């Protein structure tokens, strides 16, 4: 692992995004049980990791009608 980045949402530490080299993307290493579906997944961009972790965490935490989904 070359570098890792903390993934935190709403003040809750969810895991890290591990980078293994330039152009290799990021692998999510989750520590919160609600993020188990994402654990080990690869992403091209760090912001993708953060966005997907936030969405997955909030879906597990709040009813779906209360979650604002960012538009791309």
pLDDT in tens, 9-54: 889 999 999 998 777 899 999 998 888 889 999 999 999 999 999 9
Higher pLDDT residue, 13 or 60? 13
Q: What are phi and psi of 43, to 5 degrees?
A: -135, 150
pLDDT confidence of residue 1: 63
Is the pTM higher than 0.85?
no
Burial of 8 (0-12, 13-18, 19+ CB in 10 A): middle
Residue 28 near residue 45 (C-beta atoms within 8 A): no
pLDDT confidence of residue 26: 95
9 vs 21: CA distance, rounded Å: 25
- Asked whether the predicted pLDDT for residue 63 surpasses 90, the reply is no
- Asked whether the predicted pLDDT for residue 71 surpasses 60, the reply is yes
């Amino acid at each position: 692992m070359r570098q890792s980045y903390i993934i935190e949402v709403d003040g809750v530490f969810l895991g890290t995004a591990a980078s293994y080299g330039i152009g290799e993307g990021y692998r999510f290493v989750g520590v919160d049980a609600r993020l188990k579906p994402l654990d080990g997944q690869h992403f091209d961009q760090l912001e993708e990791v953060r966005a997907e972790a936030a969405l997955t965490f909030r879906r597990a935490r709040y009813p779906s009608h209360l979650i604002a989904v960012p538009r791309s």
